[in-house]
A and B are shown apart, each in its own frame.
Chain A
């Protein structure tokens, strides 16, 4: 079946512009996660959704970052007034959390590479 998809795959923007990144999780996965990865660094947690609600937004680096999820499916991550330090790969993952007896691993999308000039 289809995996996690993200769009756009690459985004180049100018400092100060807003950007919107999209994630389509695997159908039926209730949990959705956004991470950020700078070049050569580890994954930085941003936000977690269970259904349409976000019980954990603790990783969002500033109030310029927001995310929503609608219909328990697609999620968008919005970065307002982008700064050069926002340049990174933004990864989305989904998980069938709640499936009894399973390890409930995460499945990642290919990421959006954001470059802020």
Chain B
């Protein structure tokens, strides 16, 4: 079983839509959780860390459910510039585990 699992998509949504991505992780002892964004032929960049209480950054909301070992990312009012691959990342001690990514296409 993979450490981190994500639906690869693609998610094709119109501008202005709300879209949600989910991710599950296998190690209940994992300490930190993140969403990264990766544009085509670019390096991954941190979108946001995910905290147990849930956190929001503008149009982006992340949630963590430790009991279910589940992480989510909600994007409201999608923009064309949100088109990218979104990577779910989990840290267990000094090792980072990456999901394979969920591809989002926002269309006009």
Q: Which residues of A contact B (CB under 8 A)?
A: 31, 33, 41-43, 45, 48, 50, 55-56, 91, 93, 95, 97, 103-111
Count residues of B near A (Cβ-Cβ below 8 Å).
Answer: 19
Secondary structure at chain B's binding surface: helix, strand, loop or mixed? strand
Q: How far is the CA of A55 from the CA of B87 in the complex (A)?
A: 25
Secondary structure at chain A's binding surface: helix, strand, loop or mixed? strand
- Give the chain A neighbours of B45 by CB distance below 8 A: 108
Contact A105-B98, Cβ < 8 Å, known A43-B44, A91-B43, A111-B43:
no
Contact A103-B32, Cβ < 8 Å, known A42-B100, A42-B101, A111-B43:
yes
Q: How far is the CA of A56 from the CA of B33 in the complex (A)?
A: 21
Nearest B-chain residue to A109, judged by Cβ? B43
Contact B46 A55 (CB under 8 A): no
- Give the chain A neighbours of B89 by CB distance below 8 A: 106
Contact B49 A105 (CB under 8 A): yes
